């Protein structure tokens, strides 16, 4: 079906590549993409900061893995729809544009150009802003705290204008958001409606049985503005498989055990020490069996 009001027609399932080049080898990534494509999946999502846990040594491998697979698969490029993301402000990932300190026009343009090189393609089907430039509660936080506002943010107009230039140049087909709020999504939609700036086709936010904030916050906006949801972490980082319920805390080779202590933003969302999380998983598992 089409993403939002765009002409981008994608499969219902999108395969994420967040682990390609770190938790999964490049060869395992190729195998997963082959398996998905053979079963009708034509939509693949990556990000310039992937794989995670992010580090300088592995930076960019996920996009490179996707790019090599596309080039070597023999599948027509127009049969594969590629999504990737521009990293938002972060003082931790110094290997990406020295931070990056802001999500301004220069950062968006540089990110797109670098992603095109790693993906070894002439265009990106869906370019998303990975998280906002301004303060918003995300990655485990729920409530907005006005005292956390960290100063003037890059205007959304500037971000949309940079994306518009990339679209006009033929380097990007559609634009999207990620980890965005109702206010942010509406602001992007309003600006697009008031001029010639590109319309947001999709929003990629967490959505699963342990996190349904989308239902009470963004669902109406997406419905009325015709913006598609790309739901990430549908199994809550593996929790909803039940594999972490045993007394040992799950298999030693499970992702949250292999990278324990390196996954701060993930562990804050899905901490084993949150009794309500584990009890909810137990009840879901009981209902499923």
List active site positions: 50
CA Rg, the chain, in Å? Answer: 19
For residue 24, give Cα distances in angstroms to 37, 42, 115, 261.
18, 20, 20, 19
Half-sphere exposure of 16 (CA within 13 A, CB side): 17
Give buried/exposed letters for 190-228 (b at 16+ CB in 10 A, else e).
ebbeeeebbbbbbbbbbbbebbeebeeebeebbeebebb
């Amino acid at each position: 079906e089409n993403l939002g009001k765009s002409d981008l027609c994608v499969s219902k399932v999108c395969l994420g590549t967040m682990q390609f080049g770190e938790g999964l080898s490049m060869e395992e990534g190729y195998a997963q993409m082959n398996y998905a494509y053979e079963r009708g999946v034509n939509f693949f999502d990556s990000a310039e900061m992937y794989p995670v846990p992010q580090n300088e040594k592995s930076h960019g491998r996920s996009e490179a893995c996707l790019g090599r697979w596309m080039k070597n698969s023999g599948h027509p490029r127009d049969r594969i729809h590629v999504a990737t993301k521009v990293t938002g402000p972060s003082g931790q990932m110094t290997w990406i544009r020295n931070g990056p300190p802001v999500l301004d026009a220069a950062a968006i343009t540089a990110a797109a150009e670098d992603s095109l090189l790693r993906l070894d393609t002439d265009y990106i089907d869906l370019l998303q802003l990975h998280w906002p430039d301004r303060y918003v509660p995300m990655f485990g936080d729920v409530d907005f705290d006005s005292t956390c506002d960290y100063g003037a943010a890059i205007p959304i107009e500037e971000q949309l204008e940079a994306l518009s230039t990339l679209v006009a140049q033929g380097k990007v087909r559609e634009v999207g958001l990620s980890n965005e709020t109702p206010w942010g999504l509406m602001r992007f939609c309003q600006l697009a409606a008031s001029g010639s700036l590109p319309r947001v086709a999709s929003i990629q936010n967490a959505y699963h049985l342990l996190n349904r904030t989308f239902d009470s916050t963004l669902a109406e906006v997406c419905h009325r503005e015709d913006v598609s949801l790309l739901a990430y972490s549908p199994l809550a980082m593996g929790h909803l498989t039940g594999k972490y319920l045993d007394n040992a805390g799950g298999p030693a080779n499970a992702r949250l055990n292999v990278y324990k202590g390196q996954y701060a933003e993930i562990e804050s969302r899905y901490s084993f020490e949150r009794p309500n999380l584990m009890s909810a998983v137990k009840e879901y598992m009981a209902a499923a069996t």
